[in-house]
Structure 1
Amino acid sequence: MKYTEKYQIGFNECDENQHLKLPSMVDLLMKVSEDQLDAGRAGTEALMERGLGWVVTQYHFEIKNLPRPMDKVILSTEASGYNRFFEYRDFGISDQQGNELVKVTSQWVMFDLKARKLIPCDEELMKQFKVPLLPKMPHFSRLRALKQYDQSRKYRVRYDDLDTNHHLTNSHYFNWFIDMMDRDFLRKHLVSQIDIKFDQEVRYGEQPLSLMSLKEDKNDLMSYHAIEDDTGKVRTVCELKWRSI
């Protein structure tokens, strides 16, 4: 069941090129998803009463263009399927004429907040939202960290960086990724595709490294990113494809 909302982009949600920031874009997609789930008593508050939460494990973004300040857009989301442990959700941003600007597919798990472990999908909840049972898992890019990155920078997880699941909020990863890029590069390029995989949560007070390499790969301009903890374990891997403005 597809759910849509109308929304007007604010100046505070855009960068100096007047394009929607990636963290703001992720926050908007989470907003429309939360609004749909709230209506069916499956949003953050309802799940927290049961000691549960939704946790994303992977995203794939295809970005044709990014909205600008004061643009009126249509946000959309739909639970596209599930199997024993994973729920799949699609998102979109389109203009008022229905032209697709951003298309997103994602994979989620339901998480026991106290035990800090995933649990099987709630089949009754899936039936409530008319989510189809999938015979096989949808395909996502198989992301792996590079053996070595060209740049690194240490960050600290602050209190305001946390979400209601008590770990670093999804959108904040993109602040760390974009901060690794040179300003002149960002003024001349836009992201056209994103693949990101979350292997393990990042928690309050931790000081992980943000790693990055920028490369030409088969005629594509790619930046490769990872978040690594102080033991060298990779928590998150991301690939961004760029195009010239």
Structure 2
Amino acid sequence: MIYSNDYKIGIEDIGINSEATNKALLAIMQDVSALHSASIGYGVLEIETKKRAWMLLDWKMKVIKRPKYNYEIKAETWSRKVERLYAYRDFQLKDKDGNIIAIGTSRWIFVDTDRRRPVRLTADIVDLYESETDKSVFPEEIKDIEYEEDYIFKKEYYIQRRDIDINEHMHNLSYLDMAYEILPDDIYKNKIFDNVRIVYKKEIVYGENIECYYSQHNDKYIITAKSKDKINAVIELY
């Protein structure tokens, strides 16, 4: 089952050259995935009663043609496959002529919100999503980022209220905000990153002081977020 919804690039979604930011495009992908789940009874409004929620583990996005302000976008998403505890979801963003302008893939777990633990994806839940097992936007499977142990510099990032989501930990998209704050000025101002990877390892909560380690590998810019010597996330931009 391919689920779709229409969007328009607003003033809050644009950056340089009046083009949509990576955060705006990821937000569209995140929103359409939530709407898909809501359409089959496992959306945000059902979390309180069903005590179940989807938790994101990995993002991968590639921008093919960056949309500008006021562009109309059609977002498509589908469940691609389920493996044991993991569910994989893909995305396509299309312009009004049907051209694909961005693609994405992601990996999720289903969580018991009371126990804060993953739960097994049973057939009755999996069947509701009607997975498109032969439709993949990337030729290769999503995998961990190889981060550098040797870093160029370290910088602290303090988690504020604006970073927190409805589950009371750092919002998925706030990790991208954090990464951009860590980038050196010349990289931030002069690079446009059409490829984004975020791997979530350990949740971050309000008030934490996160140590962010910046490194470069070929043309990839990597930010590794740590707290108490544990890796919270790795963000890769290129």
TM over 0.5, shorter chain:
yes
Q: SS at the partner of 2:170?
A: coil
Q: Give the % identical residues.
A: 19
Q: SS at the partner of 2:35?
A: helix
Q: Do structure 1's residue 227 and structure 2's residue 225 form an aligned pair?
A: yes
Equivalent residue for 2:104?
104
Equivalent residue for 2:144?
142
State how far apart, in whole Å, the 1-side matches of 2:129 and 2:93 are. Answer: 21
On the 8 A contact 1:145/1:234 being kept in 2, the answer is no
Q: How many residues align?
A: 233
Instruction: Kindly provide the CA deviation profile for residues 93-126 of structure 1, in whole angstroms up to 9, marking residues without a partner as x.
Output: 1111111111111110011222222111132121
Unaligned runs of 5+ in 1: none
Equivalent residue for 1:26?
26
Unaligned runs of 5+ in 2: 135-139
Q: SS at the partner of 2:192?
A: strand
State how far apart, in whole Å, the 1-side matches of 2:216 and 2:185 are. Answer: 14
- TM-score by length of structure 1 reads 0.87
On the 8 A contact 1:26/1:170 being kept in 2, the answer is no
On the 8 A contact 1:53/1:165 being kept in 2, the answer is no
Equivalences for residues 61-72 of structure 1 within 5 A: 61-72=61-72
State how far apart, in whole Å, the 2-side matches of 1:94 and 1:45 are. Answer: 28
Task: Tell me which amino acid in the other structure corresponds to 2:220.
Answer: M
Equivalent residue for 2:15?
15
Equivalent residue for 1:240?
237
C-alpha root-mean-square deviation of aligned residues, in Å? 2.0
- TM-score by length of structure 2 reads 0.90
Q: SS at the partner of 1:147?
A: coil
Task: Tell me which amino acid in the other structure corresponds to 1:121.
Answer: L
Runs in 1 of length 4+ with deviation above 3 angstroms? 182-188
Equivalences for residues 68-147 of structure 1 within 5 A: 68-131=68-131, 139-147=141-149
Task: Tell me which amino acid in the other structure corresponds to 1:147.
Answer: E
Task: Tell me which amino acid in the other structure corresponds to 1:30.
Answer: Q
Q: SS at the partner of 2:18?
A: coil
